[in-house]
Structure formats: C-alpha cells, structure tokens
Structure 1
C-alpha cells in the first residue's frame, strides 16, 4: 500500500490519497490468483482518537473481546486521528480490501461522521458496534422496488 499525504505545495484542505495494488506478484512476474481458505472470518477494528479520548485502549480491548466472542479472526486495528486531515474511511476500506475482511467492529456509531453508520461502508463490510451491540449487515440482495412488478398477459 502506498500513502501520500502532502509534499508541501497543496491547498490547506488537501487530504492525500491511498493507492493499493491487489494480488501478489511472484518473482517471475506472474500474478498469484490463488485464494486463501480461512477457518474463521476476518474482522478489523476501527476507532477515532477524538471520540475515544483517554478510553482508547479500553475501546480497543472491547473491540477485540467482541471479535473473539463472535468468532472472528481479528486482523488489525485502524485508528483515525482527524488532526492529520486524511479521509476518515479511506484507510479502513483499503485495509478491509487488502485483508479480505468480512466485518469491522467499532466502539459506537459516534466513531463515524455525524454518529451514523456510513452506507458505503455497509456495502463493503458488516459493521458491528460494541455499545449498543448491533450489526449492520451487508445486503445479500438488491433493494426491493417501490412498485410491484408488472403482471404478464394482463393477469
């Protein structure tokens, strides 16, 4: 993964970007497309330093405890600090893709902008909150249409 924050001549609100290469390249230059079979689904933890404050280590321990109880293989803790000005979910999404994670566990919804679980994140991962303990699951099927389907042959 390659991360670029700033090289000095950008605007003050420049937040950088992340670039990630998928797959593994062998020494002979061919891509390894072999899948890895896991015996437990992988999850990540996510917390914001400005929301956790002094309870950061407590939040992390609660995330790890819930991951173990739910049967996840805990892979990484992504800690977001707004003072660096990076996009809040960019690193989380990149890590989730890289580690092929199934879920992210957060201390509470307040660790997301506006205290709401981002829909774009739920499209990629199950989002689980410690307090209150809730799961925002990815949809297995597309949303239902607003109108009933048309009937064939006027029936």
Structure 2
C-alpha cells in the first residue's frame, strides 16, 4: 500500500488516501505494477445468535460463524447478539444493522436461533440467511416468482 496525496494538499493533510498496489519483479531496480492487482469487493455479512439458545457454547458459536463467513468469502462486519431478558423484538436490531451496513447475508449457528426454529420469511426477503449446522443457505429471490409470468406455449404461438 502507498500513501498518496491529492493535488490540493492542505496543512491538515485531509487530502491523503491509500492505494493498494502489487508489484511484479521488474528488470533491474524497477518494479512494475501487476495487471488486475486492485482491491476486490467482498460482500458484507453479519452474525446473529440468541444467548438463551447458545448458552455456554456462545463463544464457540461465534467462532463457527466467523469461520464460515471467511470460508464463504464474506467481509464479517458485526455480531448481533440477542438476549431475551431485555424484552426487545428479536430481529429488530439485526434488520437495522443489516440495513445500516448494507449487508448481503446473516450467518446463524442453527435455525433454532429464530422463533419456532424456523427461518423468518421477512428476514429472507432482506438478506440471505446461512446456517452453520446444518450448513444451508436460504437465498433472497432476485426475480419474480414464475407464477407471476404469463404461461409459455410449446408451439411458439
């Protein structure tokens, strides 16, 4: 990484930015930048668990969420921990954090961390929901359901 200055450098140095460069071994004393060696986008994800479900395994569940996020190529942003003794709605903070961080997915230890042991449909409308055990993904729909499309005819008419 290099520290670069903008044209209008001021005394507070607010015109600085970081630039990621990767170099080939060059000829002689010169190094050449690699083609395509720019920073890559990683989708953001959150972790979510309930303290009453995890119990004494809470730290283990958190580490399993982080491991799965790394393996799947997500930028892990935050762990949302719900404790029912505070009486707040269980998914309110998770949905707010997901919106604020523009998250693509939430990873949970198991479906039991949701009411009734079922993945909430309202959450799947906003985020992909990934469970650690069993490892499953409940993906958002990116297109309208097929039943909303006009029926196709086999004869081409």
Shared fold by TM > 0.5?
Answer: yes
Partner of 1:20 in structure 2? none
TM-score norm. by structure 2 comes to 0.69
Q: Does 1:68 align with 2:73?
A: no
TM-score with structure 1 setting the length: 0.70
User: Cα 1:149–1:57, aligned 2, differ >3 Å: closer, same or farther?
Assistant: same
Residue of structure 2 equivalent to 1:32: none
Gaps of 5+ in 1: 1-36
Q: Which has the higher contact order (CA 8 A, sep 6+)?
A: 1
Q: 1:109 aligns with which of 98, 107, 111?
A: 111
Q: Find runs of 4+ consecutive structure 1 residues off by over 3 angstroms.
A: 146-151
Q: Which runs of 5+ in 2 are unaligned?
A: 1-38
Paired with 1:98 and 1:147, the residues of 2 have a C-alpha distance of 33
Mapping 1:81-120, distance limit 5 Å: 81-120=83-122
Q: Report whether the alignment pairs 1:40 with 2:42.
A: yes
Q: Distance in 2 between matches of 1:141 and 1:96?
A: 21
Cα drift, residue 114 of structure 1: 0.3
Which of 134, 143, 146 in structure 1 is aligned with 2:145? 143
Find the structure with the greater CA-based Rg. 2
SS in 1 for 2:146: coil
